[in-house]
């Protein structure tokens, strides 16, 4: 019988709401939305198709961060680590995973916290994740990857 799926949600740091990219994207979108009426008055935006395109871009700018916030998670199956962050997906064969270690990198990744784990796999590849239940996540990987090297725990 194969091991059951283990599901983990991402830890979310409070700074993400205060100074993180969500706030930046919201500010950029707000400024851009207020600039559209001025562009209309100046005659720059007269085409309704262009207005619709701009509205869609601004909506996506606001919705993508929300999607990332609500849908960043990690699933460990019998033979894969599935990483999901909004529209982005990674499938990592557990046979390719060779090391897990703590990390606090600011590098862009499917992790909503700076309390991260770096998972090294394949030929020089790595991914940063931030499971809320970090120890249970590491223990699950240890169970399913017996040769896994865990450093810094």
Q: How much is the pTM?
A: 0.77
Same domain, 53 and 94: no
Judged on CB neighbours under 10 Å (0-12, 13-18, 19+), 57 is exposed
Q: Which of 46, 68, 90 is the last residue of a domain?
A: 68
Give the count of domains, the chain: 2
Same domain, 61 and 84: no
Same domain, 117 and 138: yes
Same domain, 59 and 88: no
- Which domain CATH number covers 99? 2.30.29.30
Judged on CB neighbours under 10 Å (0-12, 13-18, 19+), 61 is middle
Query: Is residue 30 situated within a structural domain?
Result: yes
pLDDT tens, position by position, for the chain (153 residues)?
567 899 999 999 887 666 555 555 666 666 666 666 666 666 655 667 667 767 777 777 777 878 888 899 999 999 999 999 999 999 999 999 999 999 998 888 999 999 999 999 999 999 999 999 999 999 999 999 989 999 887
Note the pLDDT tens digit of each residue in 36-77: 666 666 665 566 766 776 777 777 777 787 888 889 999 999
Q: What is the DSSP letter of 34?
A: H
Same domain, 130 and 146: yes
Same domain, 79 and 122: yes
- Read off the tokens for 132: 């809320």
Instruction: Confirm if 77 and 95 have CB atoms less than 8 A apart.
Output: no
Domain assignment of residue 119, given as a range? 6-12+73-150
């Amino acid at each position: 019988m194969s091991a059951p799926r283990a599901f983990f949600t991402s830890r979310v740091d409070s700074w993400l709401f205060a100074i993180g990219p969500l706030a930046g994207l919201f500010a950029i979108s707000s400024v851009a939305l207020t600039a559209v009426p001025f562009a209309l008055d100046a005659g720059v935006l007269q085409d309704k198709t262009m207005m619709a395109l701009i509205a869609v871009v601004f909506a996506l700018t606001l919705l993508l961060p929300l999607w990332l916030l609500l849908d960043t998670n990690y699933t460990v199956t019998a033979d894969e680590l599935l990483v999901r962050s909004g529209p982005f997906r990674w499938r990592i064969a557990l046979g390719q995973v060779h090391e897990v270690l703590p990390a606090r990198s600011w590098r862009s990744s499917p992790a909503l916290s700076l309390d991260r784990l770096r998972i090294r796999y394949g030929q020089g590849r790595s991914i940063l994740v931030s499971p809320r239940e970090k120890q249970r996540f590491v223990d699950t990987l240890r169970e399913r990857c017996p040769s896994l090297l865990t450093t810094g725990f």
